[in-house]
Amino acid sequence: MNVLLVDDSEILRNHLMTILAEMENVTIVGESIDTESAIRDIKKKRPDLMILDIRIPGEGGIHVLKTAKEKYPDMRVIIYTDYPYPQYQTKCIELGADYFFDKSTETEKMIDKIRQLAWETGAR
């Protein structure tokens, strides 16, 4: 399963890359730090899964989500944010996000979901 990380925090990206690198059937195909690089990387790298923060420089993660799902509806998207407000969650799910996780309380839950998705991908 090819994964694209989209977050402007280098510390967070490095942390996730360390965790994901140890998972079977997971390949990190890129890291994006803003809206423009995220949209470019989606088009170029065609990830199976994108882990996306809402607050990134440029037009923001919600714009990236909308653009990505319009062009690549089968790509799975995990929203991973410090802004887990209900209005954001509702908007992201409406735009096609598959999962929505709070960075401060649901990291393990998100990692478990990625493991499950990677296992399903490898089992095909």
Give residue 53's pLDDT.
98
Query: Could you tell me the residue ranges of all domains in the chain?
Result: 2-123
How far apart CA 105 and CA 40 sit, in angstroms, is 30
Q: CB of 121 within 8 A of CB of 83?
A: no
Question: What is the per-residue pLDDT for 121?
Answer: 81
109 DSSP β-pair partners = none
Q: Can you give the pLDDT at residue 21?
A: 93
Residues 66-94: what's their mean pLDDT? 97
Domain formed by 2-123, architecture: 3-Layer(aba) Sandwich (3.40)
Confidence of residue 15 (pLDDT cuts 50, 70, 90): very high
pLDDT, tens only, 22-60: 999 999 999 999 999 999 999 999 999 999 999 999 999
Q: What is the number of other CB atoms lying within 10 angstroms of the CB of residue 74?
A: 6
Predicted pLDDT of residue 86: 97
* Rounded distance between C-alpha atoms, residue 96 and residue 123, angstroms: 24
* Residue 31 φ then ψ, to 5°: -130, 135
